[in-house]
Structure 1
Amino acid sequence: MTDRTIDLYSFDTPNGRKISVALEELGLPYRVHVVDITKGEQHAPEFVRLSPNHKIPAILDPDGPGGHPLSVFESGAILIYLAEKAGRGLPADPVRRVRALEWLMWQMGGFGPMPGQVHHFIALADEADRRYGLARYMKETRRLYEVMNEHLSAHEHFADEFSIADIAIVGWTWRHPRHEVDLADYPHVKRWYDAVMARPGVLRGFAVPLRRT
């Protein structure tokens, strides 16, 4: 019998959480392999064969298309692959599908790189570097929260139904305290975030141990 268990190679980061949440929400069987990026394990040759960009997450599906093993890297590509494999997580309606993909790409291109820079500059010891970086990236991060807030003022979810766009975005919204953002300032984002974070699959995905104890 073919092993249908997907191998997830990941760590406790927003991009890593997107995939553990997706696997739980989509009901796909998987096992976790922790790649400790604080110890440089993302550069190990066996991992680089799966993820040539030396970044987590990555998956290995032993039951890929045609029954052949398939590895996938980059969290956005993984989300699309998993949704198509499961037959849900991407709306069937063509217009709503485009909306989900729009917001997925919005997260990948903006609401990830910008908050990630905030994380970086907050951690810097040099005060002059911190001030410059935070002024630049905090402004853009808060603008992105405003974009979300405006959209969600008229929509329950990013594609009008729960999709991989919500999974991608909640992975980074989860870190709003590290962005030094109070969701009370963005009430529509807060409503959406509280509802998504209450979903059983999302809760299970965030509970997956992605760090070694």
Structure 2
Amino acid sequence: MTDPLSPISDDLEVPGQGAFGPAVDAFDRRIDELLEHLRGNPVADKLFTTASHVGEFSMIWHAISLGRGLAKGRRDQVLLLAILIGAESLIVNQGVKRLFKRTRPTADGEDGLKVRRPMTSSFPSGHSSAAAFAATMLTAWDGKRLGSVWYTVASIVGVSRAYVRIHHGSDVVGGFVVGTLLGVAGRRIARQLLPA
């Protein structure tokens, strides 16, 4: 871990930088500097490492969907969301990521924070995309009050990927954009297939 009080040098070579130009590189460095102030804090380390783990394969979203579906008697929504999350993952991981092939900032994540080693491109973040997608879908069904909860969870999952240094900050933002756009399409599909 670097000294949190010293800014990361513009000259520091980070894999994946240069892919989208100097403005994005500066954004990524700034995000990493901000997160570096938190790294090493036991509570933050636990929160973001756990968020990164439960975001794998959208486990957290399937668990939330199952819980709310059983509580509301909407098992049809559980099944549809599972299918749509699968489609979203396929589009992002086998489609969008192949267009960019961006190198990740680290191969194995931040020292001391154990995360799974991903095999796909860094851009966009699949965790972030799935999180934004699921939050968009769940908010359409649950309304804005619960939607604020879903988007908060989505934000923590997304930021966790930059925190553990498996993604650049811009990967996370890109994932949120892609996931939101796919979520809007998913909402339209849901309106066609499921009764209100």
Provide TM-score, normalisation by structure 2.
0.30
Q: Comparing both structures, which one devotes a greater share of its residues to helix?
A: 2
Pick the structure with more strand per residue: 1
Structure 1 length-normalised TM: 0.28
